[in-house]
Amino acid sequence: EAGVTQSPTHLIKTRGQQVTLRCSPISGHTSVYWYQQALGLGLQFLLWYDEGEERNRGNFPPRFSGRQFPNYSSELNVNALELEDSALYLCASSLRGGGQYFGAGTRLSVL
């Protein structure tokens, strides 16, 4: 069974640009979560989608947004990139209320 897959694995962008990250959950999982793992800040919750709806979001500005598609895959969009957005972005999926399983992440570098 395939795990959570994320693309791309690495991205380099410049300040002010926009980026889209993608995530495919484990088959049968309806919930998708996005986390940011920045150096020195640990893992911080960004967004939670379930059944196509945004259910909760962490303490991040509105330029972090996303969506979930009918096949439960998800996109994370970050607009107006700032240097401090450089981080590993992790996607996790779960059955509603179950344990979360993580993908390998997308490493974003903002120059």
Partner 1 sequence: AQSVSQHNHHVILSEAASLELGCNYSYGGTVNLFWYVQYPGQHLQLLLKYFSGDPLVKGIKGFEAEFIKSKFSFNLRKPSVQWSDTAEYFCAVKTNQAGTALIFGKGTTLSVSS
90 in contact with partner 1 (CB under 8 A)? yes
Residues between 60 and 89 with contacts to partner 1, criterion CB under 8 A: none
Give me the least distance between CB of 104 and partner 1, in Å please. 4
* Total residues binding partner 1 (CB under 8 A): 24
99 in contact with partner 1 (CB under 8 A)? yes
Tokens of 90: 């992790």
x-or-dash string of contact with partner 1, 17-56, rule CB under 8 A: --------------x-x-x------xxxx--x-x----xx
Burial of 108 (0-12, 13-18, 19+ CB in 10 A): buried
